[in-house]
Structure 1
């Protein structure tokens, strides 16, 4: 219909051109005509594409461009354009060459096709030519998870399905909006949002980055699960967002494992044995049980682990020990400066740091033991007690606990000891430590070990974690 309108307009324009007159002036009762040479501005969808001597020549170039585009995209596409010619003065509009006109037409011409919008949980994410390629991509995603389960000899696949609701909606769109199978796979597996990154600077820790960007530490830790969060160096790329797949493959499998059954310990009291001493009468022995789990994963990550069945293969043997109750002679009082004899405990440095960070900003009060207020040694005692480690109460006495660590080999969770006066803190990594400051801030804060103030006062570092 649009082409017919253009041809009708061409006929009217051509009629004017054939008479050889374009303008008329009235003088008295007479009309005089002035011959004028005209050209035509060709417009497609409201945009000017060139100047032609006649509408017929413009349409001839237009037809060639359309024919070429249809051959490229097959017969599944169509051109949706409004073509209009407007008369213009020849001396103000240079005539476009055929190549110039064809190139300009290609820039504005709209090639459309019938397609399907792909909706994930009702949200439109892309357009495809055929819904079949969507199913192919979904099958490939499911097969990836199936192969992982089959490679694990313990696993027995139960079923796989797509968590999201995938639907389709027929639409007419431009060819440029369509995606192929490869692009669709990228959309489904990488999502549509770009993962933001931050370049680490000197003195940065994962804690400080989380605070600066107002991101929960747990989210930042998950986004960077592939790196050692205790060791961040300048220039490292830290992901600030978790890459979330647009489509989730849910897989369930049965898995059978042989687990140890811990033995019980029976403790008997013995008043002939000194208090604090124990003696084993009978060693305990672990035994085995067979446990069958129903495991659910989403894109390979375990989301639930349900026990379906437990079968005891052999009962464990109870351990029997006696505990002394006899009161030993009272020991003499230790001289000042002697070691407290604190033992090394178990735990991860990152766990100690994570727990200590919960008290950031809590006020300093001399002699306070927490949790609403601390002094420096009260803070370290409170934190380490959470992990089963009892430290001596004063900062000076904490200089002799655990084992000595050189300043070059510090690890998160080490105790830093300072002098003039006695002071202690907990190392958190990258040259920083957390402590209850008695200075002007009077609260639990983070400071840099490389500052002049703490460099001068630094005495030693002690490690109380295995």
Structure 2
């Protein structure tokens, strides 16, 4: 998708992304641009979708020269390194040269994320090239390119980052706030019974997205579901798969 197309899509989706939009406006705008088109919840389509089921699991083994997180190189960014078991996380903050949009860095992130609406899905996508994304590459790139925060490169360590540094991590998806990162276990079907006996505290996290408010999330899940898209998170398998959420901007 070219820059002009991305900017057009972002403008056209303004109703979806505005925190004060009505639900009917959200549905109409997102459907027009391929967001809430129900592909993600179509049982016939998703039951054969290998990438939806895989999420970003095992990208550590698939990607060359994989590092959980790159140490920031800009002198404008303050950071500390904390060891957590076998992992090391780098705590990062917004670049001080970035001006918050409408007084909130979350708006910077969301505005940038919408520019990539419709960008194709690729499992194990190049973390330095925004021409394709998997789920954690998309969330990382949205924060990196908008406010200069270089988050971990996979959903499991992004979740660990939220759990470690967020001022208010939560396990109830109804606590989600605009700009939060949301994390999910693997897709196992569109039937709620498929998740009833899942112990989500020990299941592997394999998917993530950015919460927009009004029950909507921007994320990317697979080739078949169209790359970067917007979906409802309530009353479907996203709600049933939800594990953890929180802000990386509102920190301890």
**TM-score relative to the length of structure 2:** 0.51
The change in CA–CA distance for 1:447 and 1:216 in structure 2 (over 3 A counts) is closer
Alignment of 1:103-142 (within 5 A): none
Deviation at 1:455, TM superposition (A): 1.2
Q: Going by fraction, where is helix more abundant, 1 or 2?
A: 2
> What is the match of residue 138 of structure 2?
379
Distance 1:454 1:235 in 2: 21
Aligned with 2:91: secondary structure? coil
Is residue 191 of structure 2 the alignment partner of residue 419 of structure 1? Answer: no
Q: Is the 8 A contact 1:381 1:391 kept in 2?
A: yes
Deviation at 1:230, TM superposition (A): 1.3
> What is the match of residue 453 of structure 1?
237
> What is the match of residue 19 of structure 2?
230
Query: Paired residue for 1:335, among 79, 85, 88?
Result: 85
The higher radius of gyration belongs to 1
Deviation at 1:359, TM superposition (A): 0.5
Aligned with 2:155: secondary structure? coil
**TM-score relative to the length of structure 1:** 0.29
Deviation at 1:352, TM superposition (A): 1.1
Q: Is the 8 A contact 1:436 1:445 kept in 2?
A: yes
Alignment size in residue pairs: 154
> What is the match of residue 362 of structure 1?
119
Q: Is the 8 A contact 2:140 2:152 kept in 1?
A: yes
Q: Is the 8 A contact 1:339 1:397 kept in 2?
A: no
> What is the match of residue 149 of structure 2?
389
Q: Is the 8 A contact 1:361 1:445 kept in 2?
A: yes
Unaligned runs of 5+ in 1: 1-209, 222-227, 237-275, 277-330
C-alpha RMSD over aligned residues: 3.5
Query: Paired residue for 2:107, among 327, 350, 359?
Result: 350
The change in CA–CA distance for 1:339 and 1:356 in structure 2 (over 3 A counts) is same
Unaligned runs of 5+ in 2: 1-7, 26-71, 73-80, 187-204
Distance 1:408 1:457 in 2: 13
Aligned with 1:416: secondary structure? strand
> What is the match of residue 408 of structure 1?
174
The change in CA–CA distance for 1:335 and 1:450 in structure 2 (over 3 A counts) is same
Query: Paired residue for 2:221, among 413, 433, 437?
Result: 437
Q: Going by fraction, where is strand more abundant, 1 or 2?
A: 1
| Cα-to-partner distance string for 1:298-321 (whole Å, 9 max, x where unaligned) | xxxxxxxxxxxxxxxxxxxxxxxx
Deviation at 1:351, TM superposition (A): 2.0
Q: Is the 8 A contact 2:82 2:88 kept in 1?
A: no
Distance 2:156 2:174 in 1: 22
The change in CA–CA distance for 1:215 and 1:461 in structure 2 (over 3 A counts) is closer
> What is the match of residue 109 of structure 1?
none
Q: Is the 8 A contact 2:93 2:249 kept in 1?
A: yes
Q: Using CA pairs under 8 Å that are at least 6 residues apart, name the structure with larger relative contact order, 1 or 2.
A: 2
Deviation at 1:394, TM superposition (A): 1.0
